[in-house]
Amino acid sequence: MNDGMPARAGEAEFAEYLENVRRLVDEVLIPAEPRLEGQETLPEDLTQRLREMGLFGISIPTRHGGLGLSMEQQVRVMLEVTRASSVFRARFSTTIGLGSQPILYNGSEAQRAEWLPRMASGEVTAAFCLTEPEAGSDAGGVRTTARREGSEYVLDGVKRYITNARQADVFIVMARTDLETRDASGISAFIVPAGTPGVSCGPADRKMGQDGSATSEVLFQGVRVPAENLIGGREGGGFKTAMRGINHARLHVAVTCAGQAERLIQETLFHARNRRQFGQALAEFQMVQGRLADMRAETLAARSMILETARAFDAAGEAQGPIIADIACCKLFASEMVGRVADHAVQIHGGAGYMRGTAVEQLFRDVRLFRIFEGASDIQRLLIARDMIKERNAR
Amino acid sequence: MKLLVPVKRVVDYNVKVRVKADNTGVETANVKMSMNPFDEIAVEEAVRLKEKGVATEIIAVSCGPTAAQEQIRTALAMGADRGILVEHDGVLEPIAVAKLLKALIAKESPDLVVMGKQAIDDDMNATGQMLAALMGWPQGTFASKVEIADGSATVTREVDGGLETVKLKLPAVVTADLRLNEPRYASLPNIMKARKKPIETIKPADLGVDVTPRLTVLRVEEPAKRQAGARVASVQELVEKLRNEAKVI
């Protein structure tokens, strides 16, 4: 599978790869952005470019067919990829995060062998199903049930806002196995292939932004899966299983915000240097300069804290506990930051920034999502503060 | 079938080129260097021919400084099998490169040479044609489509009047135009594999080729700055200025 390759690329090889990613972004992805408008999902030829670049496998080790990048390397790759529309990133985000990580860290060897190589190549798209009509921020509120019947589990329930649901070949589904419980302790994670009888998707959701990235409802009606499809080998471990994937996904959303902010700066600088008012370029006006400086300082702050936390993530290994709150800080700050940066960008663009067809208008709508999904800002604040109090109490 | 693909190390296409302070050439110190984009297209075409089972081996060649190994590595990461660096510091004119390639062809006996139609540094657009002439081989320049079958290459050429299709008996030289294909970006596993592929280094003297330049560069200058235009108040004033200042009517 890995041709005897070393587990990880050296810095020189990685730098060469990063340069190729940069070129893909500038020469292929950004020019293709106008094609995304009104699309339900990413066109196949563009998805294929992402597969060829190995992007579906950045978080999967080389022994399972992925690129085996460290979190810091993943962050550096994603800072490039997310200068383009975040829709590109969305196409493989569910696979590299909550689709693959639970199987990688808690799955059986058989589950890894079955799914990870095909996820890494992008042949298989994975989607993660947690959110329900009455569960989301309240993750313990999951009502989807998984009843044990002989050698099988039978799943029933409805999941909502599931990214890449209609493109997915496999779902990682959070379902309640202990019907007596009302909290997270009774929830387990299952691998459910998309073709299993009883699995169906609703129509694509119509959203504020993110054209080209599909979300929809997923229905599970009497879906039977073998007991081996339980991840982690025992019931009730769903959130322990998902935690590493959730951390991964949150840090990746934070990176996405930093990448999008970088793009907003590029677009805005271009406009401010070319658009003239009162006989001079907008960039010559001090109040415009003030906004530009804030955009850069805030973006740098986010990028720095994300890279720092990514290094801590790599150093922490299995002991993720101490960095969960730091990851939440990154997700909180970066998503709020990109909202402010997008607002400056639209303001500096003036009328043009309010017009469809302008990059910043699209970005303004796209980045609004990041304060909501993968744990809304307010949930991140609760998580951070609770961690602070818990740590102080433990002294 | 064996393919030879020459690749040139040039200033990256994104770099704003500056003339050296002493006007002897353009600044290449501390400037990002890359493979000539037309050569990337040639490499891509060769790799596709190999993927289709038409070609069996691809040799990437670069004539230039030691650092041109980087461009050979790029070709290897894209899918070439091995590399040859003809190491030479200093100016290499198209005729010198064509002679070096001719000497390599004598050693390697490729069935087809695929190369960029020109390099973006000097825009000479000459090496492929000179090589074909030196070899006495047919040439298909400015290719936008290449098909290989039954010992010949059918090449669609981009010419001023439209598209021209020529059939070349192999061995032959094909030079790639912009629309021949869209080159791939090497993935990380292929970059890592490329590190293990062999690159042979030889000198022009080993090939018995004299690469001494035939041309002398007298002076290199920036294009003249465009003068700001002037507004005129009336057609009469315009005509007057065209006649007396610009002296064009």
CA distance B6 to B42: 8
Tell how far CA A40 is from the center of its chain.
18
Q: Which helix (H) or strand (E) is A201 found in, with range?
A: strand A199-201
Q: Are the beta carbons of A52 and B187 separated by less than 8 Å?
A: yes
Closest Cα in chain A to B195: A13
Taking contacts as CB-CB distances below 8 angstroms, the residues of chain A near B184 are 52
- Angle of helix A324-349 relative to helix A377-393, nearest 10 degrees, comes to 150
Give the contacts of B104 (CB within 8 A, at least 6 positions apart).
B4, B61, B84, B86, B207
Mean pLDDT within B87-111: 97
CB-based contact, B192 to chain A, within 8 Å: yes
Which member of A13, A21, A23 has the closest CB to residue B192?
A: A13
Residue B57, phi-psi category: left (phi > 0), alpha (psi -120 to 50), beta (remainder): beta
Give the lowest-confidence range in A254-258, B14-18, B243-247.
B243-247
Closest Cα in chain B to A58: B188
Q: Are the beta carbons of B187 and A20 separated by less than 8 Å?
A: yes
Q: Chain B closest CA to A67's CA: distance in Å? A: 7
CB-based contact, B188 to chain A, within 8 Å: yes
Q: Are the beta carbons of B195 and A14 separated by less than 8 Å?
A: no
Q: Is the per-residue pLDDT at A352 higher than 80?
A: yes
Taking contacts as CB-CB distances below 8 angstroms, the residues of chain A near B185 are 20-21, 23-24, 52-53
What's the mean pLDDT when you consider all of chain A?
94
Per-residue pLDDT tens over the stretch A166-178: 999 999 999 999 9
Taking contacts as CB-CB distances below 8 angstroms, the residues of chain A near B74 are 16
Mean pLDDT within A267-289: 97
Tell me if A220 sits within 8 A of A153, measured CB to CB.
Answer: no
CB-based contact, B184 to chain A, within 8 Å: yes
Other beta carbons less than 10 A from residue B5's beta carbon: 28
Q: Are the beta carbons of A5 and B184 separated by less than 8 Å?
A: no
Catalytic (active site) residue A109: no
pLDDT value of position A6: 46
Beta bridge partners of B149: B152
pLDDT value of position A8: 66
pLDDT value of position A38: 87
Q: Are the beta carbons of B187 and A17 separated by less than 8 Å?
A: yes
Per-residue pLDDT tens over the stretch A222-262: 999 999 999 998 999 898 888 888 999 999 999 999 999 99
Q: Which of A109, A284, A374, A391 is catalytic?
A: A374
Per-residue pLDDT tens over the stretch A281-330: 999 999 999 999 999 999 999 999 999 999 999 998 877 778 999 999 99
Per-residue pLDDT tens over the stretch A320-344: 778 999 999 999 999 999 999 999 9
- Angle of helix A11-24 relative to helix A71-81, nearest 10 degrees, comes to 20
For Cα atoms A309, A313, A315, give the angle at the middle one, nearest 5 degrees.
115
Taking contacts as CB-CB distances below 8 angstroms, the residues of chain A near B73 are 16
Residue from A2, A8, A13 to probe the interface with B (highest B Cβ count within 10 Å):
A13
pLDDT value of position A243: 84
> Terminus-to-terminus CA distance in chain B, angstroms?
62
> Terminus-to-terminus CA distance in chain A, angstroms?
48
Tell me if B63 sits within 8 A of B86, measured CB to CB.
Answer: yes
Q: Is the per-residue pLDDT at A4 higher than 70?
A: no
Closest Cα in chain A to B189: A67
ipTM of this complex prediction, to 2 decimal places: 0.85
Closest Cα in chain B to A62: B189
- The percentage of chain B sitting over the pLDDT mark of 90, rounded to a whole number, equals 93
State the SS3 of chain B. CEEEEECCEEECCCCCCCECCCCCCECCCCCCEEECHHHHHHHHHHHHHHHCCCCCEEEEEEEECHHHHHHHHHHHHHCCCEEEEEECCCCCCHHHHHHHHHHHHHHHCCCEEEEECCCCCCCCCCHHHHHHHHHCCCEEEEEEEEEEECCEEEEEEEECCEEEEEEEECCEEEEECHHHCCCCCCCHHHHHHHCCCCEEEECHHHHCCCCCCCCCCCCCCCCCCCCCCCCCCCHHHHHHHHHHCCCCC
Which member of B74, B186, B188 has the closest CB to residue A67?
A: B188
CA distance A157 to A146: 9
Tell me if B64 sits within 8 A of B8, measured CB to CB.
Answer: yes
Per-residue pLDDT tens over the stretch A180-218: 988 889 999 999 999 999 999 999 999 999 999 999 999
Tell me if A296 sits within 8 A of A373, measured CB to CB.
Answer: no
pLDDT value of position A17: 97
Q: Map residue A314 onto helix, strand or coil.
A: helix
- The percentage of chain A sitting over the pLDDT mark of 70, rounded to a whole number, equals 98
pLDDT value of position A2: 40
Would you tell me which residues 58-77 of chain B have a C-beta closer than 8 angstroms to some C-beta of chain A? 73-74, 77
Per-residue pLDDT tens over the stretch B167-188: 999 999 999 999 999 999 999 9
What's the mean pLDDT when you consider all of chain B?
96
Confidence of residue B246 (pLDDT cuts 50, 70, 90): confident
pLDDT value of position A333: 98
pLDDT value of position A5: 46
Closest Cα in chain A to B71: A16
Spatial CA neighbour of B213 closest among B222, B204, B202: B204
pLDDT value of position A137: 82
Mean pLDDT within A101-106: 94
Which member of B74, B184, B195 has the closest CB to residue A13?
A: B195
Closest Cα in chain A to B188: A17
Mean pLDDT within A370-379: 94
Beta strands A199-201; A215-226: pairing state: antiparallel
Which member of A3, A24, A67 has the closest CB to residue B185?
A: A24
Q: Are the beta carbons of A20 and B192 separated by less than 8 Å?
A: no
Q: Are the beta carbons of A13 and B191 separated by less than 8 Å?
A: yes
Q: Chain A closest CA to B195's CA: distance in Å? A: 9
Q: Is the per-residue pLDDT at A3 higher than 60?
A: no
Spatial CA neighbour of A165 closest among A59, A90, A242: A90
pLDDT value of position A322: 80
